[in-house]
A = this chain, B = another copy of it.
Amino acid sequence: MAKHRNRLLAALPAADLNLLETQLQSVQLEKRRVLEAPNKTVDYVYFPETVIASVVAICGREERIEIGLIGCEGMTGLTVLMSDSKTPHSTYVQVEGEALRIETEAFRKLLAQSASLHNRLLRFAQVFTAQIAQTALANGRAKLEQRLARWILMAHDRTVADVVTMTHEFLAVMLGVRRASVTVALDGFEKKGVIEARRGSITVVDRKAIERMAGHFYGVPEAEFRRLIG
């Protein structure tokens, strides 16, 4: 098995990993910690280990929605890969835990130093783009039940246990729907026996069934990940 819990790091060739490792710093990140704020310079690039972060698009005061989820399979700060240092989006911790991080400027130097590293990580940017696109598709065409199933699957992919700590309220914000709609939908899930819902947490019981519920709306970015990162 790989040395790193972060799968993106684990998949790096030794030379590139060595470059990074000297500057990586381990941190514990609490829930709701903001990693990137809209139109602010990114200070650190994070490689989550057990943390899961949400990337959220915002416009105006009220309109916001989650466009992607980043956990142990990836990294934040994709804008730095794009030779920039800001994004209009917000990124914050959804499930607390550990992550490795590196200062933006140091990271930028490493990218300039190793085209191989840069290219490797750009492939993850491609995966994440596919994830955003899939979110756009699901938001436009899927029923709430399917979208919720998709979200649970994505969160499940990024956790070690089968439990996701998350209130209906927060989930509603992520999906851009009413809190009550989430409650009703999750209730349906539990009655079908595919999850167990507790106050503030969801436990995956029958993953296969959830995958069937999500239908084609789950899987495309995940296949891209396997193809490009492995």
Contacts and interface: CB of A to CB of B under 8 A. Distances in A.
Interface of A: 57, 59-60, 63-65, 67, 78-79, 81-84, 87-89, 112, 115, 119-120, 122-123, 125-126, 129-130, 132-137, 139-142, 175-176, 215-217, 219-221, 223-224, 228
A32 to B, nearest CB: 21
A126 B215 contact: no
Given A67-B137, A84-B126, A88-B133, 20 more contacts: A57-B136, A59-B219, A67-B133, A67-B136, A81-B122, A82-B122, A82-B123, A82-B126, A82-B129, A83-B119, A84-B123, A87-B130, A88-B223, A88-B224, A129-B129, A132-B133, A136-B139, A137-B176, A139-B139, A139-B140
Given A112-B115, A122-B81, A123-B83, A59 B136 contact: no
